[in-house]
Structure 1
């Protein structure tokens, strides 16, 4: 086994180790990273197709490396190996085609994720966000068209190259081959420029939403994903510019041959950045706390112990009060009948009691708050008002009971009816 076969075998093994987790994570994302009809999670609509295209690209490139090893190990001048060459050529075309589609889907998912961060921060999508979204759709459509053109030219070149059915007779159309290379290089350059635009846009979103704790994690993940994808697109442009001739030479079929170690570099810089990006997006999509959510979900109602209070629809925050002993007051010393069960959470109160725990404004006073104490011309000490959580306090005692006017010094009721309060001296 020569060096090319050894490096191709290693590259195939690395792709296998990358493809198996990719398939597993994709199926997990179908259950764990769902939209839940949330407008801030539309990026998942681009994420899943991109993941499918990425897995298909890995499969075809994996077989391409295996067929390359098989051809070099079984090399001879017989016509029996022409089928291996044809299969290798086809797997290379299809692998590149699906890989480019996955890049388009990932970049659209990143653009939509930046828009979702702004939506969570401001509460609505701005006109600038819509313009950026539609421009991204236009660039993605242009890349998809160029990718289809690449596929058509590659298949036509394949048909001309292997029309004779012999591995020793290869027909190459120089003009068609040159057009194919130029279209491919233009597509790679547009991808890189689009990726740079997405990265700059992500940085702007991260700076403008730095005061919003709900999207801090999302914006950090977004920038990391854009940097990883920029590494991939820059590698593709650099490789094509260095090793593939694009000019009108006398023999465009002659191209520089990179070293055998480039098979490993291709896996590291062409497949692993996209794999890490898809894994990061999966981790972000399955997050419950500090995830990308613009609407209130059922799982947000239950908070683990120690978490900060959640905002309520009316603008206040509430938290479960700790179980503290209620101070002893005169109301507890007086018999007030059976006390209803205490509720520690406002959501557990009966309908007729739950309104007492909601924040009330001046124009929303409860019936007890409308009760006012009779004005007395003499100063006196007011009774304590103790509030029991979850229970309704009994009505306050009368003025005479509070002041002790209906009792003598020894605590017994007076023998004669008491005079009115304003007549006492």
Structure 2
């Protein structure tokens, strides 16, 4: 097995064992463990369940991408330098593998961005819920509308990127390579804009989490929840920073025919997991623990006293 195959296999195992399987188990557990009754945080944890499903899809299709890549590499690596090898015999299989790898990668990227959008809503709603419980008054209505508006715009851009990537796959496989590369370049440019917007939003979420932490520090019942919210915001900043920086470094944003600013090394496969996929899953795990806590969580107060808040807030 070649070095690049070993790195790809390590990536596959790390994602499947370290992200996909745990995310499925966590989702099944949320159906029973995470509170679903009416309270100021109910919306956040509803989105949390959707985010887990989307992240699971992201991890699954990422695993499938590297799985098909490994299959093709291992099957044909020994024959690559054989002058008498009948490549025409396997032309259809090679073409199909290329399409599968690119298509699964496009779906994985779409799931990644959608999961980030859902995490944005989740963290903002949790910060609002924490302040609502602390003050006893419904707050954050304008922020909720802004967050939904931003989520709509980002989702639209994400699906545009996905459509361009599908067009790219079709063109380079069946039609015109130049048109395909033009679609790919546009998809990368729009994806970079989405990554920058997510990074900026993440900074705002982090600042808000710090403000929430300071405002509720006098309330011991909310100290733990606000600390976990701040930790989740910091970890999410790591994920969004890496996603933005890696795209700028590993893709040429001005010309699809030219080399990227940084040569892609095969050990970057591991970096993609450590700084990209795992931090995203870690944020969801932290949110899960916020929702799991009952004695020291964001619904540790008497629920009846919050009835008027819930009706105004949800």
- Tell me the TM-score normalized by structure 1: 0.65
1:257 Cα offset (Å): 4.0
Structure 1 match to 2:64: 63
- SS in structure 1 opposite 2:29? helix
Write the distance in 1 (CA, Å) between the matches of 2:188 and 2:258. 11
Q: Deviations over 1:368-403 (max 9, x none)?
A: xxxxxxxxxxxxxxxxxxxxxxxxxxxxxxxxxxxx
What is aligned with 1:101?
A: 114
Deviation at 1:160, TM superposition (A): 0.6
CA distance in 2, matches of 1:202, 1:163: 49
Structure 2 unpaired stretches of 5+? 81-86, 306-314
In the TM superposition, what are the counterparts of 1:284-323 in structure 2 within 5 Å? 284-293=290-299, 296=302
In structure 1, stretches of 5+ residues that fail to align are 299-310, 312-425
Aligned to 1:346: none
1:42-93 Cα shifts (integer Å, max 9, x gaps): 2112111111100010000001111111122223543131111111011100
2:148 corresponds to 1:137: yes
2:127 to 111, 114, 127: 114
Match of 2:202 in 1: 195
Match of 2:94 in 1: 81
Counterpart position of 1:14 = 14
The 5 A counterparts of 1:183-332 are 183-247=190-254, 249=255, 252=257, 254-255=259-260, 257-293=263-299, 296=302
Structure with higher RCO (Cα < 8 A, 6+ apart) = 2
What is the alpha-carbon root mean square deviation over aligned residues? 1.9
Q: Name the structure where helix makes up a greater proportion of residues.
A: 2
Secondary structure class of the residue paired with 1:124: coil
> TM-score normalized by structure 2?
0.88
> What does residue 308 of structure 2 align with?
none
Q: Distance in 2 between matches of 1:273 and 1:31?
A: 25
Q: What residue is the counterpart of 2:171 in the other structure?
A: 160
Residue 60 of structure 1 contacts residue 95 of structure 1 at CA under 8 Å; is this kept in 2?
yes
Residue 27 (structure 1) aligns with = 28
Q: Secondary structure at the match of 1:210?
A: coil
Q: How far, CA to CA, are the matches of 2:167 and 2:116 in structure 1?
A: 24
1:130 is displaced (CA, Å) by 1.8
